[in-house]
Amino acid sequence: MVDTIHLNGGSILGSSRGGSDVGDIVDSIETMDLDFLFVIGGNGSHAGALAIDLMCRARNMKTAIVGIPKTIDNDILLLDRTFGFQTAVDEAIKAIRCGAIEARSAKNGIGLVRLMGRQSGFIATHAALASGEVDCCLIPEINTPLAGKGGVLSHIRRVLNKKEHAVIVVAEGAGQDILGTAGPRGFPKSGGAAFYRRRW
């Protein structure tokens, strides 16, 4: 059964996107007489783990609920680094370098790289710094004005005048103050600054 498990990684476990009833989960834990439940994931998974733990305690069950911080976003409080984050950064660096090559191939070329991370700019920030190619990095934690003297567009124009190409990295949730709308399951729908259109 486990002969080729090393080739499949975490996908052997399967995944879900919420929507399960906590009572049903705790009923199953009780039926199976589990001593431990390991919950692997990010913020949502750990919120679910807490709800399961609270209900187990309310029922005087002795099951230990253990949270495993695995999310590429690296956005779980009190942790410096989560499983999966470094892999995401390594892959993001490759995308940035490809964008930089494209940007340099034409006069005033702009490489625009949008990176995942939902409401967290950790992947974008770490990859931008590590690549050595990025002229502007927009993250959701900081509302950066696009227009005006100190805005992103003015900065990019200065970069183009100097280097004749530019690389911009936009984290998934950046620009929500401008374009964000409510999405499914309470998460903001990521429009973000990558979808901003302006004539140069």
pLDDT at 183 over 80: no
For residue 60, the model assigns a pLDDT of 96
Q: Which of 69, 93, 114 is the last residue of a domain?
A: 69
* Any domain includes 137: yes
Residues identified as active-site: 73
Instruction: Give yes or no: residues 117 and 31 share one domain.
Output: no
pLDDT at 158 over 70: yes
Count of domains for the chain:
2
Q: State the pTM of this model.
A: 0.73
Instruction: Give yes or no: residues 52 and 138 share one domain.
Output: no
Instruction: Give yes or no: residues 89 and 188 share one domain.
Output: yes
Q: Which of 19, 41, 69 is the last residue of a domain?
A: 69
In whole angstroms, give the CA distance from residue 127 to residue 61: 44
* Any domain includes 79: no
10 vs 79, more confident: 79
Question: What mean pLDDT value characterizes the chain?
Answer: 86
For residue 88, the model assigns a pLDDT of 93
| CATH number of the domain enclosing 110 | 3.40.50.460
Q: Which amino acid is at 80?
A: D
58 vs 142, more confident: 58
For residue 106, the model assigns a pLDDT of 92
Instruction: Give yes or no: residues 57 and 91 share one domain.
Output: no
Instruction: Give yes or no: residues 31 and 101 share one domain.
Output: no
pLDDT in tens, 97-144: 999 999 999 999 999 999 998 788 999 999 999 999 999 999 999 888
Beta strands in the chain (DSSP E): 36-41, 64-69, 109-115, 136-138, 165-171, 181-182, 188-189
190 confidence band (pLDDT: 50, 70, 90): low
pLDDT at 193 over 70: no
pLDDT in tens, 62-94: 999 999 998 888 888 788 888 889 999 999 999
* Any domain includes 33: yes
CB contact set of 161 (below 8 Å; sequence gap of 6+) = none
> Whole domain around residue 33: which residue ranges?
5-69
In whole angstroms, give the CA distance from residue 37 to residue 55: 13
11 confidence band (pLDDT: 50, 70, 90): confident
Q: Percentage of the chain surpassing pLDDT 70? A: 87
For residue 192, the model assigns a pLDDT of 52
